[in-house]
Structure 1
Amino acid sequence: MSEGPTTRRLGRARDTPMVLVVSPSVSPPWTNGTSVLVRHLAEAGHDFRYHIMGCRGQVAPAARVIVEPIYGDGRQHALLTQARLAARLLRPDGAALHHFFFAPHPRAVSIARTALTLSRRRSVHTVPSPPADDLDLRRATFADRTVVLTEASAISFRQAGVSRVHVIRPAVPVPAEPADPAASRRRTALWLRGPAWGEEPVFLYPGDLEFSDGARVFLDAAELVLAERPDARFVLACRPKTPRAAHVLSELQRRVARWPLRERVTFVGVAPDFAALLGAVTAVVLPVDTLYAKVDTPLALLNAMALGTPAIVSDIPQLSELAGLGDGVRAVPRSDPESTARSMLALADNPTLRRALGEGARRTVATHFAPRAMAAAYEALYRELIDA
């Protein structure tokens, strides 16, 4: 039996051009940054209808959006999903263009290139996260327009000989009011193991376990901070992305178990209420040496900043670029626990600085990462291709 698209229709115009967005499943629990990015685009879009790829029975996030159940019941059926996706890309549908969201790798690029050659569709490819270092970026480019999320990534593509590359920054909504840290800590206490937090400083690492050195550097810095502030707490909220994550996590847990203040560190995996956690902490800390397998401008950072939580990041190009866009982000040398610890202590010991950086963080997100601005930039690119 064929699976038809589902939507919540509110009188959309039939003559509005349609964009098919090809991406990971745009469906709960919203732990995939690329999927969240697509959702924000579809929600904020104005002049186009969006067909996004999700699961059976899923409610569309906005009036101009149709969810196509390419991912079936949401379980992992890799071969079946690939077959559905290939068939969908070749099916006549009246789409004005196809918009791909994925980090390029040879198999996916080959499927997309073949489908576009056969369908003769106009196309956009958004590269949401840095490709592998050994990937030939020229061979990974297949669409009429390539979009990256940072100027730093655009430079990498241009240096590799890819000239038609555009920068469109990601987006997250900014709440009308900043998070209330005390209320956020009470919400977090509902699911977090251990005693409820009081007014002590709490630092969050929301990065990966298996690709970067971020978790190790975060714990190195935590030991230094605890020597000065034994009341401080540290949380690692890391979604496992490969089987290797379990091995790395076990090593880190064994290391912390030897600490005198081991109860000050909590490993939570996927947080049941991530928004509450972001609003509860003193700062989010991402001292990574690579953003491989993460969105180029990590949405965890942007969501924290939108709530008024400052960020401490390493000085790799994409994150230095974020720090240079406005207030609210402090960049430290990569793989440097001492510098990371100094920045953490500065925030722990200075509520005035913490408040000022939090206010600046909200301004930075509102100015540079607004959903409407992101959608308008993409829709201008769509019109350029359609009118060409």
Structure 2
Amino acid sequence: MRILMITRPIGEPWNEGGKNLAYNIARNIKNHKINLLVKHNFSNKLSKKFHLERIYSSSKKRRTNFSDKLRLFVRLISKDNLDCYHFIFTPELYSSLFSSVILKLKNKKSIQTIPTPIKDKKFIRPLIFADRTVVLSDYTKNFLINKGFNNIIKINPGIDTNFFKPGKRDLKLINKLNLKDKFVVLIPGELEPKRGSRVILKTLINLHNLEDIIFIFSYRKDNNKKHLKEKKFIKSALSKHKRNNFIFLEDFHNIKELINISDIIVYPTLDMNEKQEIPMILLESLAMEKPIIITDIPPLNEILKSNCGIKIGKGDFYKLSQEILNLKNNKKRRLKIGKNGRKMVVKYFNIIKIAREYEKLYSSI
């Protein structure tokens, strides 16, 4: 079967859950031909089983422009020998209606993978448009089934557990960031209050007289005024309380090495809207035997299938402070939780196993 994966442009920066998931699935499919949508300057060397469709411009902007969308429309209505369209993006009303029209015109078999929680719960019916709909969590699966949909399948996201595994720490990076003999807490994600930035701020203020702990804010660079304002606010507040044990890293290119030099990962988001239901960065961290501390909200909390991390209440900076200290002061427990995390990811989120599930799905429609 020849399948076209319809996503945002595959390629750098590798910091968007939907396209990363599509790329990882495609790389591990054996029995089907995959077409991928990429930018004109895409240069990754891929297997011959891939067909690269260079329809997106080489712009460094993250969002697709009108010309990109027009080229995508022309591509989808053109004649081809494709058997199936596989849509992998967050469903919104207009993009879903557009996809529905394309499917009616082309009369193609279709699969829709929804990587994020459904934001608009008032108008759900138009958002689900494919023959089969894949979700990443039991939370969304049960929600859609309760709304009367019967074509819902849950398939976990997957990562390359042979690539993301424990390894030697990069001493050059440690020295560059001045992290020698420090306990490193990595906070990945957007710099926004709803993503937990104020929770981290309160935690930093609460953890006083602990200069051997360093917090690294690793986030996607964005000229959004809200992000810039939040960064300025956090710096000002920490300066006022005489805190200097934090680092801001924008668009750090090697997330694997950043995880590797960290001791624990903290993800205190207040909601999961517009975020991948099971964030890749957390799976990658667990695969590298790093304990995680997350907010106990669905569907995020489904990631902790065994004793591989810690859950805290929404906004509970006091418990977050205590759990960070507990992990810092108990290396034996920290290492045990880390090993449990890798075992869990290999069992449930190994991309090779996930790709086999998609192959079965492709063959069944």
- TM-score of the two chains, using structure 2 as the length reference: 0.93
Return the alpha-carbon distance in structure 2 between the equivalents of residues 299 and 40 of structure 1.
11
Matching residue of 1:312:
293
Matching residue of 2:33:
49
Q: Decide which of 12, 19, 33 is 2:17's aligned counterpart.
A: 33
**Aligned pairs for 1:1-388 within 5 A:** 17-58=1-42, 59-76=44-61, 78-175=65-162, 178-180=165-167, 183-190=169-176, 192=177, 196-210=178-192, 212-227=194-209, 229-240=210-221, 243=224, 244-261=226-243, 263-323=244-304, 325-385=305-365
Return the alpha-carbon distance in structure 1 between the equivalents of residues 171 and 187 of structure 2.
16
Return the alpha-carbon distance in structure 1 between the equivalents of residues 151 and 237 of structure 2.
47
For 2:143, the aligned partner's letter is S
For 1:120, the aligned partner's letter is N
Deviates more, 1:285-294 or 1:42-51: 285-294
Return the alpha-carbon distance in structure 2 between the equivalents of residues 177 and 25 of structure 1.
23
Instruction: Indicate if the aligned counterparts of 2:270 and 2:314 stay in contact, CA closer than 8 A.
Output: yes
SS at match of 1:288: coil
Instruction: Indicate if the aligned counterparts of 1:211 and 1:290 stay in contact, CA closer than 8 A.
Output: no
Can you list the C-alpha shifts for 1:89-147, whole angstroms capped at 9, x where unaligned? 11221111000011111121111111011001111111111122555222211111111
Return the alpha-carbon distance in structure 2 between the equivalents of residues 117 and 346 of structure 1.
57
Return the alpha-carbon distance in structure 2 between the equivalents of residues 130 and 177 of structure 1.
26
Return the alpha-carbon distance in structure 1 between the equivalents of residues 363 and 171 of structure 2.
46
Identity across aligned pairs (percent)?
Answer: 22
Q: CA deviation at 1:188?
A: 4.8
Instruction: Indicate if the aligned counterparts of 1:97 and 1:122 stay in contact, CA closer than 8 A.
Output: yes
Instruction: Indicate if the aligned counterparts of 1:137 and 1:162 stay in contact, CA closer than 8 A.
Output: no
Unaligned runs of 5+ in 2: none
Q: Structure 1 residues 384 and 313, CA, compared in 2 at 3 Å: closer, same or farther?
A: same
Q: Structure 1 residues 134 and 211, CA, compared in 2 at 3 Å: closer, same or farther?
A: farther
Can you list the C-alpha shifts for 1:144-180, whole angstroms capped at 9, x where unaligned? 1111111112122223332221111011111378434
Q: Structure 1 residues 106 and 188, CA, compared in 2 at 3 Å: closer, same or farther?
A: farther
SS at match of 1:295: coil
Q: Structure 1 residues 197 and 211, CA, compared in 2 at 3 Å: closer, same or farther?
A: closer
SS at match of 1:25: strand
Instruction: Indicate if the aligned counterparts of 1:225 and 1:232 stay in contact, CA closer than 8 A.
Output: no
For 1:186, the aligned partner's letter is K
SS at match of 2:208: helix
Can you list the C-alpha shifts for 1:323-359, whole angstroms capped at 9, x where unaligned? 1x22322111121111111111111111111111111
Matching residue of 1:13:
none
SS at match of 1:23: strand
Instruction: Indicate if the aligned counterparts of 1:304 and 1:310 stay in contact, CA closer than 8 A.
Output: yes
Can you list the C-alpha shifts for 1:281-336, whole angstroms capped at 9, x where unaligned? 1111011121222211000111111111111111011222111x223221111211
For 1:349, the aligned partner's letter is N
Matching residue of 1:7:
none
Instruction: Indicate if the aligned counterparts of 1:55 and 1:67 stay in contact, CA closer than 8 A.
Output: no
Return the alpha-carbon distance in structure 2 between the equivalents of residues 283 and 170 of structure 1.
22
Aligned-CA RMSD value: 1.9
Q: CA deviation at 1:210?
A: 3.3
Q: Structure 1 residues 110 and 29, CA, compared in 2 at 3 Å: closer, same or farther?
A: same
Q: Structure 1 residues 135 and 249, CA, compared in 2 at 3 Å: closer, same or farther?
A: farther
Q: Structure 1 residues 99 and 177, CA, compared in 2 at 3 Å: closer, same or farther?
A: closer
Return the alpha-carbon distance in structure 1 between the equivalents of residues 161 and 337 of structure 2.
16
Unaligned runs of 5+ in 1: 1-16
Return the alpha-carbon distance in structure 2 between the equivalents of residues 26 and 156 of structure 1.
29
